[in-house]
């Protein structure tokens, strides 16, 4: 961790840890190594045994349930942060979902309920987090979400998530404009394919991994720790002049056709 990435005295919220292979966990480790105190959420009782030990290893004082489709649970997370710290410096949102039938089918065949559910969980939940975080960021702050280059290019098997991630990236730009007067910066982080539990739901994911290794300039995949290093930088004062961007950390995969 370089001296530029200093989060000592900062507080952050991490949404989306599922296990030790999660992108959100790679980010959380980097935030903690840079000195931040973290609140960590888990989806439900089934997920808690996988997430709680990781959060405890991060010395997280707040480990809270959060299904982002439940407004009361999401509100309770931010209420808990207000009660514990009275403020918030950054949020990492690493949540995405689409029903399997819609994700594995053609976009043209996507159901209305499936499309709306994917958009609600993967995109609008970030907007809801921004709205709840804003009053806690009275000294400025950073909001970060996770996207994928399938937002801009057709990736076999990505289907409905392509338009959803495109909407998420557009939301980042508009939120950056909305929140600039509060000195709240907003970013999307775009990793290359990583073997996470969520990504395993993508049809032909193994082929996507193989193609990505072949197409990147140095023929490798990025790690969750490399994604975490970028997230920690974006959360830090060193990135205070940046907002509204989609930042690639994909070993150059986005450079290829």
Q: Give the torsion through C-alpha atoms of 144, 139, 124, 100, to 10 deg.
A: 30
Q: Give the torsion through C-alpha atoms of 70, 32, 60, 222, to 10 deg.
A: 50
Q: Phi, psi (5° rounding) for residue 188?
A: -110, 135
> Any idea which residue has 């499936």 for tokens?
114
Whether residue 46 lies in the annotated active site: no
Catalytic residue among 25, 165, 174, 248: 165
| Displacement of CA 167 from its chain's centroid (Å) | 14
Q: Strand 90-93 vs strand 245-249: parallel, antiparallel, or unpaired?
A: unpaired
Run of H or E including 33: helix 23-33
CB 193 within 8 A of CB 199: yes
Whether residue 29 lies in the annotated active site: no
CB 14 within 8 A of CB 28: yes
Catalytic residue among 42, 149, 158, 248: 158
Strands (E), 28-89: 37-42, 62-65
Q: Which residues belong to the active site?
A: 158, 165
């Amino acid at each position: 961790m370089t001296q530029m990435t200093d989060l000592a005295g900062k507080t952050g919220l991490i949404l989306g840890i599922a296990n030790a292979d999660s992108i959100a966990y790679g980010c959380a480790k980097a935030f903690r190594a840079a000195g931040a105190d973290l609140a960590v959420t888990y989806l439900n009782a089934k997920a808690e045994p996988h997430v709680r030990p990781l959060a405890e290893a991060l010395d997280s004082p707040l480990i809270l349930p959060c299904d982002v489709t439940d407004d009361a649970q999401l509100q309770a997370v931010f209420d808990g942060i207000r009660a514990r710290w009275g403020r918030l410096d950054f949020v990492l949102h690493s949540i995405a979902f689409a029903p399997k039938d819609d994700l594995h089918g053609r976009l043209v065949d996507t159901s209305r309920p499936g499309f709306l559910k994917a958009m609600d969980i993967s995109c609008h939940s970030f907007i809801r987090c921004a709205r709840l975080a804003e009053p806690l960021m009275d000294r400025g702050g950073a909001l970060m979400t996770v996207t994928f280059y399938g937002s801009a290019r057709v990736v076999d098997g990505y289907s409905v998530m392509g338009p959803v991630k495109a909407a998420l990236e557009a939301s980042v730009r508009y939120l950056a404009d909305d929140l600039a007067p509060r000195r709240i910066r907003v970013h999307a982080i775009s990793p290359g394919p990583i073997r996470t539990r969520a990504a395993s739901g993508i049809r032909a994911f193994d082929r996507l991994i193989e193609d990505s290794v072949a197409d990147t300039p140095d023929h490798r995949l990025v790690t969750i720790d490399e994604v975490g290093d970028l997230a920690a930088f974006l959360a830090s004062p060193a990135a205070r002049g940046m907002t509204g961007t989609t930042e690639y950390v994909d070993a150059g995969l986005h450079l290829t056709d």
